[in-house]
Amino acid sequence: MPESPIRKLVPYSEQAKKKGINVLHLNIGQPDILPPENVIKKINNFQINEVQYSHSAGIELYRKGLSKYYQSISQDISHEDILVTTGGSEALSIILNCICDPGDEIIIPDPYYANYNGFSNASNIEIKAITCTIENQFKLPSTKEFEEKITDKTKAILICNPGNPTGALYSLPELKELAKIVKKYNLFLIADEVYREFIYDKCVHHSVLTLDDVIENVIIIDSVSKRYSMCGARIGCIVSRNKQIINTALKFSQARLSPPIFGQLAAIEALNTKKDYFNNVIKEYSKRRDILVEGLNKIPGIKCPMPKGAFYCIAELPVKNTELFCRWLLKEFHLDNTTIMLAPASGFYSPSNNVNNQVRIAYVLEVKKLKIAIEILKKGLEKYNN
Ligand SMILES: Cc1ncc(COP(=O)(O)O)c(C=O)c1O
């Protein structure tokens, strides 16, 4: 199993904290934004007499509530097309196990969410990565590039839209191109849409659930973790109109018995969240993104394309090896007793891809702290490079 690139530097941050240094965490996608008030109120007032397993597919009331949420994207989604999981993480591992035998392959635009490596490694599934570049703003690869990777072992194309770690957002024409490929080669199209709500600059998110032509090939991975800042609830889901996929996934769900009950009860309440909550959260992320990306691009030698969604960006730094630099920031550097923790981007690229000069930055801190973080990075680079 590969180490998580996000957590790998944790011992260094712990040592820094033991020395009394304040560490600003830009390395992990754990939002500092509060969950909706109605959810917190619900959690604090749970009236529960028993703690039982739920149905393996999830509480029916929740699945029915979720189907209404998805009907705003595609009218035909029913609760029978949805399985509740222990986070998007379990949804991913169940789906990969449903569609692949050991030795099978899935194609993923590179860089990608690092845990895709973990889930595929655990099941002996091979990732065929297609490199996307910072120069090209991590645009989706061309049909030709996808076709070059397809073999008789290929089972699916997996995309993350909007993307972690890149913040890239795929357009409807791009998704339609993917639809043509999966139709032609009879593949699944798995879309990790856990950041669906976080789209900026008045852009629009297009879900693969709208690709009617290939709806039987489409599988959605979803989660409440980021949508409502409820990472610890551990609730996600699988959505697919393909009955065989849902039936197979249900067998895996039965083997693990049940998704968490408290998380589901909180997630049921989250469905009542008002639009205002999202408007405010998106405004806040958008402000942070602008400040971060503008600030980064002002630092000599840094290149950072403007992300269109999610809450991450990839920045190229003027150093040879960002892993060593990130470690140095934690071990040896601070400004007014504060330092920053970033995630070296190499861990988000497939192992054969030697990209060592980029970092992933999560803008999950308030503006005041982000500005301090930018200053620390600037001063840190000056010192490191002299
Ligand atoms: C792209 C992506 N997919 C899935 C997940 C899994 O999230 P969870 O298991 O908390 O739902 C994450 C978490 O960071 C993510 O970034």
Give the pLDDT score at 212.
95
Structure tokens at 20: 């009394």
Distance (Å) from CA 119 to ligand 1 centroid: 12
DSSP string, 4-60: PTTTTTHHHHHHHHHTT-EEEE-SS----SPPPHHHHHHHHT---S------TT--H
Residue 117 corresponds to which amino acid? N
How would residue 332 be classed by pLDDT, with cut points 50, 70 and 90? Answer: very high
Find all residues with CB under 8 Å of 183, minimum gap 6, and list them.
213, 214, 217
**Which pLDDT score is estimated for 354?**
86
Give φ, ψ of 220 to 5 degrees: -105, 140
| CA distance linking residue 214 with residue 210, whole number of Å | 9
Could you identify the atom of ligand 1 that is nearest to the CA of residue 160?
1
pLDDT at 352 over 90: no
**Are 330 and 380 within 8 A, CB to CB?**
no
CA–centroid distance, residue 88 to ligand 1 (Å): 5
**Percent of the chain predicted with pLDDT > 90:** 93
pLDDT at 181: 98
Reported as a single tens digit per residue, the pLDDT across 247-297 is 999 999 999 999 999 999 999 999 999 999 999 999 999 999 999 999 999
Pocket test for ligand 1, best of 4, 6, 89, 238 (most atoms within 8 A of CB): 89
Phi, psi of 109 (to 5 degrees): -65, 140
Q: Which residues pair with 128 in a beta bridge?
A: 107
Ligand 1 atom, smallest distance to 235 CA: 11
- Protein residues with CB under 6 Å of any ligand 1 atom: 29, 87-89, 113, 160, 164, 192, 194, 223, 225, 231, 236
Kindly tell me if the per-residue pLDDT of 3 is higher than 80: no
Structure tokens at 241: 């109109």
pLDDT value at residue 83:
98
pLDDT score of 206: 97
Whole-number Å distance, alpha carbon 90 to ligand 1 midpoint, is: 9
Is residue 222 very low, low, confident or very high in pLDDT (cuts 50, 70, 90)?
very high
- pLDDT band (50, 70, 90) for residue 2: confident
